[in-house]
Amino acid sequence: MANARNKFMSWRYAVTIPVFPSTSMHKPQDVLVNPMTMTKDMLFLGRQPILDRDQSVVAYELLFRSGTTNNAETTDDIPAISTVINHAFTELGIESALGPYGGFINMNDSLLMSDVVEILPASKIVIEIPETVQVSEQMMARCAELKQMGFTLALDDFTHDDPEARVLLDLVDIVKIDLVTVDHSTLEALVAQVKEWPVQVLAENVDSVEVLNLCMSLGFDLFQGYFFAKPHIISGKQLSQSKPILLKLLGQVTTDADIDDIVATLQQYPSLSINLLRLTNSVACGIQHKVTSLASAITILGRRQLQKWILILLYSENPSNSNTSNPLLQLAARRGKLMEILSSAKRDKAFEETAFMIGILSLMDVLLGLPMDEILTSISVSTEVGDALTKRDGTLGKLLTTVENLERCSMENIDTCLSQCAYISPHDISLAQAESLQWVNAITA
């Protein structure tokens, strides 16, 4: 049991230099589907990050939501969820889709007792037992059986007034406490109660740094939420040494500056130049001699790939702890890739590249602690890009809003967003979401 509980705490992977494929695996369908005709078996895949006390990503909760309802619970439609699991993960490979991270999946009574569970890799999946589950001898026996298979079990939404759930504390490895439903004044006593069992305690719906600090002080082990993705603007904040250079490079690349000017900027930061040469040599297939000049590297790699590299590098730089998996990097990279994949239905390469850039830039104010308007001024983006990022206006602004709602499985807004993005087929979304997750894990593993 100790190994099962500790496995999330032990995953650490350094951010590596990304290699960007020239084409996406995703092949958009020629026939688009009207969002208004979506049926109940059109499920969307969402995910919420789960972090440890070092604020490193260790797992994601995988959320399956119907395209026609905002039901917050896992669907009862076993055939539908089986289809999504098969389509989104089996075809891509769940090991590749999740990378080094675990996947939490909330399962009701029907799913727990079904064979659907057994198609999932036990070493990667945490089965969440909801508070609505009917505790019976049969259910207890099933939970014990799943643990024997190697699954980790988590008890969802534990509260003081939950006598039935206490029976499960001897079986589970993780206990989740929802901060929305529990009075914060009672958290200390509740955590102390749970800590009587050898389990990890997970704080759910952590929506601010202040709440995170409270939970840290109370002894929570894991944290779920998007607290890390909220802007915290600090007047006069000093950027780290390389950030201004990277922003200058980004501005030069996006405005098609001369190669000599880009080289001059790169030369101010030797380690950046070395990394660029390494990246170019790693992707320059068919070249007999190593690339040794920055000008050649820029020409071979191409400005669009160079732009992607700079954007990712802005997030991945973490001088104090290079082995920590940055949740903001994970979110920004996946957002950019998902926007690129979904925009591919337009069959316009320039549109795809701009969509990727907007997805990455959309969290730059959080990363740098600076207002978005100030950041955009420094890199001289087009009016279209600026309006998408600051106002969510235009085609790309609507696509960004759609992706943001998909991240949180905000179903009440997704139908409206899709109706404004008629080039996106709802049938392609689950596959695109899984592919973007697979891509992010490939570049950060």
Whether residue 18 has pLDDT greater than 50: no
pLDDT at 88: 53
* pLDDT greater at residue 273 or residue 258: 258
Burial 97-128 (b: 16+ CB within 10 A, else e): bbbbbbbbbbbbbebbeeebbeebebebbbbb
Query: Distance between CA atoms of 310 and 306, rounded to whole angstroms?
Result: 6
Residue with the larger pLDDT of the pair 113 and 425: 113
Inform me whether the pLDDT recorded for 405 exceeds 90.
no
C-beta separation of 24 from 340 below 8 A: yes
The pLDDT of residue 367 is above 50: yes
Q: How many CA atoms lie within 13 A of 208 on its CB side?
A: 6
| pTM greater than 0.85 (yes/no) | no
Say which residue, 142 or 427, is predicted with more confidence. 142
Averaged over 194-206, what is the pLDDT? 94
- Two tokens, residue 267: 């030369």
* Mean pLDDT, residues 39-50 taken together: 64
Tell me the pLDDT band of 362, cut-offs 50, 70 and 90: very high
Q: Mean pLDDT: which of 15-19, 93-97, 122-126, 406-410 is highest?
A: 122-126
Q: How far apart are CA 322 and CA 306, in angstroms?
A: 22
State residue 124's pLDDT score. Answer: 87
Give the strand pairing for 43-51 and 102-106.
unpaired
Residue type (1 letter), 412:
E
pLDDT value at residue 44: 64
Distances, alpha carbon 174 to alpha carbons 155, 170, 298, in Å: 6, 11, 48
Q: What is the mean pLDDT of residues 172-179?
A: 95
Q: Which residues contact 63 (CB under 8 A, 6 or more apart)?
A: 45, 46, 47, 48, 106, 409
pLDDT class of 324 with cuts at 50, 70, 90? very low
Say if strands 43-51 and 57-66 run parallel, antiparallel, or are unpaired. antiparallel
Tell me the pLDDT tens digit for each residue of 374-396.
Answer: 888 888 788 999 999 999 999 99
Band of the pLDDT at 64, cuts 50, 70, 90?
low
**Domains of the chain, residue spans:** 2-229, 241-302
Whether residue 218 has pLDDT greater than 80: yes
In the chain, the amino acid numbered 112 is L
At residue 191 the predicted structure's pLDDT band, cuts being 50, 70 and 90, is very high
In contact, 442 and 51? CB cutoff 8 Å: no
Mean pLDDT calculated for residue range 257-270: 85
Instruction: Tell me what pLDDT residue 68 has.
Output: 46
* Strands 200-204, 152-155: pairing kind: unpaired
- Cβ neighbors of 52 (< 8 A, separation 6 or more) are 8, 9, 58, 221, 222, 223
What pLDDT is stored for residue 20 in this prediction?
A: 40
Question: pLDDT at residue 433 above 90?
Answer: no
Q: What is the dihedral of CA 92, 96, 97, 103, to 10 degrees?
A: 130
Residue whose C-alpha is closest to residue 360's, from 372, 377, 346, 350: 372
Mode of pairing for the β-strands spanning 125-129 and 102-106? parallel
Calculate mean pLDDT across residues 29-41.
35
pLDDT of 115 above 70: yes
Instruction: State yes or no: pLDDT of 34 exceeds 70.
Output: no
pLDDT (mean) for 302-316:
84
Beta-strand runs (E) in 25-94: 43-51, 57-66
CATH homologous superfamily, domain 2-229: EAL domain (3.20.20.450)
Is 237 or 10 the better-scoring residue by pLDDT? 237
Q: What is the pLDDT of residue 323?
A: 38
Give percent of the chain with pLDDT exceeding 90: 25
The length of the chain in residues reads 445
d(C-alpha 281, C-alpha 292), whole Å: 9
Which range, 57-61, 148-152, 165-169, 322-326, has the best average confidence (pLDDT)?
Answer: 148-152
Q: Which two tokens stand for residue 209?
A: 């740094």
Sign for the CA dihedral angle at 283, 286, 290, 295 comes to negative
What's the pLDDT score for residue 197? 93
Q: Which of 398, 378, 379 is nearest to 388 (CA)?
A: 398
Terminal CA-CA length for the chain: 26
Nearest Cα to 191, choosing from 239, 140, 199? 199
Whole-number Å distance between alpha carbons of 362 and 407: 13
Contact between 80 and 442 under an 8 Å Cβ cutoff? The reply is no
| Distance (Å, whole) CA 386 – CA 372 | 9
Q: How confident is the model at residue 74 (pLDDT cuts 50, 70, 90)?
A: very low
Given this model, what pLDDT does residue 440 score? 82
Is the separation of the CB atoms in 142 and 113 below 8 Å? yes
